[in-house]
Amino acid sequence: MVTRCMKEGLVGGEGFAVDASVIKADANRSRSTAREGAEDLRDPQHATRAVREYLAALDAQGEPVTVPASISPTDPGARWTAVDGPAFYAYSTNYLIDVRAGIIVDVEATPTLRTAEVKATRTMIERVEERFDLKPERLIGDMAYGNAELLGWMVNDKGIAPHVPVWDKTQRDDGTLSSSDFEWDERANEYRCPQGQPLRSEWRTFKHPRTRITKANTIIYHASQAACSKCPMKSRCCPNTPRRKIARSVHESARDVARNIAKTDAYKQSRKDRKKVEVLFAHLKRILRLDRLRLRGPNGAHDEFLLAATAQNLRRMAKWLFSAQPEVTSMAI
């Protein structure tokens, strides 16, 4: 289907947009198992296809997984989710679209979990590159896709311009200085505070250099205690600590790329282009009426999402051909 759309000129390959939408699973919200009962699912008497798929996915991860507080014994792969009202079990359908005509170039079913949706973005981008030899110049997404790791991957590994708002928790709203009030000096590998004092990750040279990377993938830069103790701005900078510290993400340069893109006109256009995914999700729910799944398990969700996306592409292609090349379409009909 995507190959045909590419042939017909509906896929530009220049800009992709990504987003996820929550779809209710075929699992009754009143039938839940508490986290402690999850192990019971391994009992063969619960061995429905949806349960087997869930357990196989858990075992395939090979690392400890945080089991959610509430699990559906009917479809344990579905995630207990609340969206504007009482919680329910759901999956997310993740769309990667080409913004030229709004063609869905890939789709992925995931639990309704931001980390899973972000991971699906990488999976889809890689898969589209492998299958269709297509890699976008820009990727458009909302702030859910603006975390440091994904931005670092886009900019440094894939060479894709991130048209995504940066997920930034460093801004302070209590009147004290934020890290954006400090100037970064790439060559010196240090910040300069408003008083002109350096903040460094190391204040002396070690015989064996250390990476200083924390578990959160940051490097801590700090000012000298002597400078901060006599600084007139201390109450606005670090009122509760002897010296100012800034945690800099190892992907900060990629975050800066995204911040700079956000100031451009191209970014304004990308904000408009992003609506094309939202339109597809609205069509999926209101017109195709896929607001609740009929099949269970991750594979059931995948099959339904894929079929629905294919139907949407077919409809889009028919409209495109009809409006752009009426003579070709009428001949085909």
Span from 105-113, 160-168, 228-236, 315-323 in contact with ligand SF4 (CB under 6 A): 228-236
Instruction: Quote the CA–CA distance of 220 and 202 in Å, as a whole number.
Output: 9
Regarding 313 and contact with ligand SF4 (CB under 6 A), the answer is no
The verdict on 231 binding ligand SF4 (CB under 6 A) reads yes
In terms of Cβ atoms closer than 10 Å to its own Cβ (0-12, 13-18, 19+), residue 214 is exposed
Rule CB under 6 A: choose which of 123, 170, 176, 195 binds ligand SF4: 195
Count of H-run helices and E-run strands, the chain = 10, 13
Q: Report, in Å, the least distance between residue 170 CB and ligand SF4.
A: 15
* Stretch of residues binding ligand SF4 (CB under 6 A), selected from 46-54, 70-78, 224-232, 273-281: 224-232
Q: Using the rule CB under 6 A, is 293 a contact of ligand SF4?
A: no
Query: Which of 51, 139, 166, 228 is in the footprint of ligand SF4 by CB under 6 A?
Result: 228
Exactly one of 125, 193, 254, 258 binds ligand SF4 (CB under 6 A); which one?
Answer: 193
Amino acid at 331: M
The interface region with ligand SF4, picked from 20-28, 102-110, 220-228, 285-293 by CB under 6 A, is 220-228
CA distance 224 to 197: 8
# chain residues binding ligand SF4, by CB under 6 A = 13
Binding site for ligand SF4 (CB under 6 A): 193-195, 197, 223, 227-228, 231, 233-234, 237-238, 244
